[in-house]
Amino acid sequence: MTEIFEPTSAHDPRLARRVTGLLGAFNVAGVVDAADVRVAERVAALAGEDDERVLLAAALAVRSVRGGSVGLDLGALPELPALGELPGLPGLPELAWPERADWMAAIGASALVASEVLHVEHDLVYLDRYHRLERQVAGDLVARIELGPPAIDPGVLAATLRRVSGDHLSAEQAAAVEHAARHRTTVLTGGPGTGKTTTVARLVLALADQFAAAHERRMSIALAAPTGKAATRLQEAVTAELGALGALGDADHQIAAPQAMTLHRLLGWRPDNATRFRHDRGNRLKYDLVVVDEASMVDLTMTARLLEAVRPESRLVLVGDPRQLTSVGAGAVLSDLVAGFAADPDSPVVALTENHRSTEEIKDLAAALRDDSADLDATADRVLDVLRAGTGEVTWVETDDPIGALQAECTAAAVRIREAALTAGPEAALAEIEGFRLLCAHRDGPYGVRVWNRYVEQWLAAEIGAPLGSAWYAGRPLLVTSNDYALDVYNGETGVVVTDPVGRPRAWIAGAGAPRPFAPARLDAIETMHAMTIHKSQGSQATRIAVLLPEEGSRLLSRELFYTAVTRARESLLVVGSEAAVRAAVTTTAQRATGLRHRLGPRAV
């Protein structure tokens, strides 16, 4: 290679070339990266804006969206963490943040606001797209409420409540069913074990009974969730509950078994547009009732697309736990709905609070993590007390050697999956996958999924006394990481590799219905799942969960992250990490800047 083609220096891709002033200083400090800078420069050039404070605000607004916020909160910026270390850079003086009042005035008077590239509202600086999305979501929700309550038959409702009551329906669950019958929109919230699925099945039946009394056809019902795994779990649980009530069938008082699907499939995914769907205001969904589970995972964009696709007269039920991790995309819609409608006398939100599970220690730990006390240290003390008091259902291993704490159990679980795959078939192997799951906060690094998947594979090979031989070895647990509409395989679904009778590996994916085999070459977005991230675990559960907490300085540690991990456990929980890591998780809450709750206040929009 000649000298002219050889690189002359290494360049960090997060650093924008030839940028100076405020943008340059904040870029070099790692507060904004090159993409943020270039977007800000481009829109400023188009609008004729040259105030470097305004350009900095635009770059920070782009960064905010990437971090999950809908808008930029200038008041929180002095504490804004850097995006990451930039090795090899000289030491920098402390950053000079613009004075907030002058900064906000400059933004408000800027060409970017005049041209509606940026908007200033609710003490936030918005990019135009997210300002429009937030206003749309608020407007559509308020419009549904202002249609007024649907007509109901009180006699039919009373008969339905008698039909579904009994040992499996508490007073607050019955109240939630009645609330859903009397509202076009219902937001059903509750933590683990509060009976959300039990309630959903009964409110589906109550709404179907009301519909049958008013129309000469059956109610059409769609069950949906953000991931394939969550949709499958919803369908299985609701179908089982309705079957136990004798509600499924062809008789007049029965309903057809509802089908579950991902939100992308429900709305009609378009290969030519990642954020638009076939169903919208001009092509509404046909369903009379749409139920969306795991609503905490639904971001602002998807919520907007859902609301514009559901017919105004149709019933909409959103179900979720606002304490869990928020969506990967921008927004914190479910928690905003709970907060925004809190003082509304006609609130669509109904909360389930009574825990019906027998897993007392897991229940106590989840309750401690839900403590909203202002004394964060006291809350951390309570969480630590629950962890230390564990008698088997919850175990805490405080150690600097996570390998020593987890190797034996992770290896044993991998061996069980492999033996089931080799001797009992795909259904048995898939059942073993649901028995144990290791959850990590990170994808990379010593506490990350990639490293721990390699560890487990090494331990498995050592245990069986032979190399695994192939990436598609028998007993490899699988996680689908994106939707494949052609194959009907969806993000979040799990699977396992099993060899067929002639020795060829087949990936068996557990989606809706019976597991299906695929040739490995047909599957693109697949990861090994001896370990998985806590974010990816949302919408799923396992009999036993092991949670590996990273070091206390991790930027991902938060109470929502820890709570989500804890509540994935059906029967037992193992927490591995230091006291400092536990305290850091409990005393750090995930903050997302949004204005949706303010728009829902007294019908503000």
pLDDT on residue 358: 65
User: Beta-strand (E) ranges in 65-115?
Assistant: 71-73
78 pLDDT band, cuts 50/70/90, is low
| 3-class DSSP state of 500 | coil
pLDDT digits (tens, 9 = 90+) for 396-432: 999 888 999 999 999 999 999 999 999 999 999 999 9
DSSP tally for the chain: helices H, then strands E:
22, 21
List the one residue out of 537, 192, 145 whose CA is nearest residue 369.
192
Mean pLDDT, residues 442-465: 95
User: Which tokens go with 292?
Assistant: 């969306």
Distance CA 514, CA 512 (A): 7
Mean pLDDT, residues 470-474: 93
Tally of CB atoms within 10 A around 533:
19
pLDDT on residue 83: 43
CB 307 within 8 A of CB 140: yes
| 3-class DSSP state of 539 | coil
Instruction: Determine phi and psi for 547, rounding to 5 degrees.
Output: -110, 120
Distances (CA, A) of 149 to 168, 295, 318, 526: 28, 23, 17, 45
Distances (CA, A) of 174 to 155, 186, 525: 15, 14, 42
Distance CA 294, CA 538 (A): 8
DSSP for 264-285 reads: HHHHTEETTEEEEES-BTTB--
Q: Which amino acid is at 523?
A: L
Flag whether pLDDT at 436 surpasses 60.
yes
User: Which tokens go with 360?
Assistant: 């007392």
Distance CA 246, CA 419 (A): 39
User: Which tokens go with 12?
Assistant: 């960090």
Place of tokens 């050039």: 45
User: DSSP state, 528?
Assistant: E
Flag whether pLDDT at 452 surpasses 90.
yes
Tally of CB atoms within 10 A around 329:
18
User: Beta-strand (E) ranges in 206-323?
Assistant: 221-225, 259-262, 269-270, 273-277, 289-292, 315-320
Flag whether pLDDT at 26 surpasses 90.
no
Across the chain, mean pLDDT equals: 88
State the alpha helices, DSSP H only, in 67-186.
100-108, 111-114, 128-146, 154-164, 171-181
Distances (CA, A) of 11 to 7, 31, 88: 10, 17, 11
pLDDT digits (tens, 9 = 90+) for 46-73: 999 999 999 999 999 999 999 899 999 9
Distances (CA, A) of 492 to 230, 269, 510: 7, 17, 10
CB 26 within 8 A of CB 56: yes
Flag whether pLDDT at 461 surpasses 50.
yes
pLDDT on residue 92: 43
| 3-class DSSP state of 494 | strand
Sheet order of strands, 569-576 included: 394-397, 569-576, 542-548, 436-440, 531-533
| 3-class DSSP state of 477 | strand
Number of residues that this document lists for the chain:
605
Distances (CA, A) of 417 to 67, 161, 414, 455, 481: 37, 43, 5, 16, 21
pLDDT digits (tens, 9 = 90+) for 177-226: 999 999 999 999 998 888 898 899 999 999 999 998 888 788 999 999 98
32 pLDDT band, cuts 50/70/90, is confident
Mean pLDDT, residues 525-537: 94
Flag whether pLDDT at 90 surpasses 60.
no
Distance CA 530, CA 542 (A): 13
pLDDT digits (tens, 9 = 90+) for 216-271: 788 999 999 988 888 888 988 899 888 888 888 777 677 888 888 889 889 998 77
CB 564 within 8 A of CB 324: yes
pLDDT on residue 82: 44
pLDDT on residue 245: 84
Question: Helix, strand, coil: what percent of the chain each, to 5?
Answer: 45, 15, 40
Tally of CB atoms within 10 A around 49:
23
pLDDT on residue 1: 32
pLDDT on residue 165: 84
Mean pLDDT, residues 339-354: 90
Distance CA 581, CA 576 (A): 10
Place of tokens 């609701």: 238
Flag whether pLDDT at 10 surpasses 60.
no
pLDDT on residue 338: 94
pLDDT digits (tens, 9 = 90+) for 494-523: 999 999 988 899 999 987 678 999 999 999
User: Which tokens go with 212?
Assistant: 């049958």
C-alpha atoms less than 13 angstroms from C-alpha of 487 in its C-beta half-sphere: 25
CB 420 within 8 A of CB 598: no
pLDDT digits (tens, 9 = 90+) for 547-601: 999 998 888 899 999 999 999 999 999 999 999 999 999 999 878 899 999 999 7
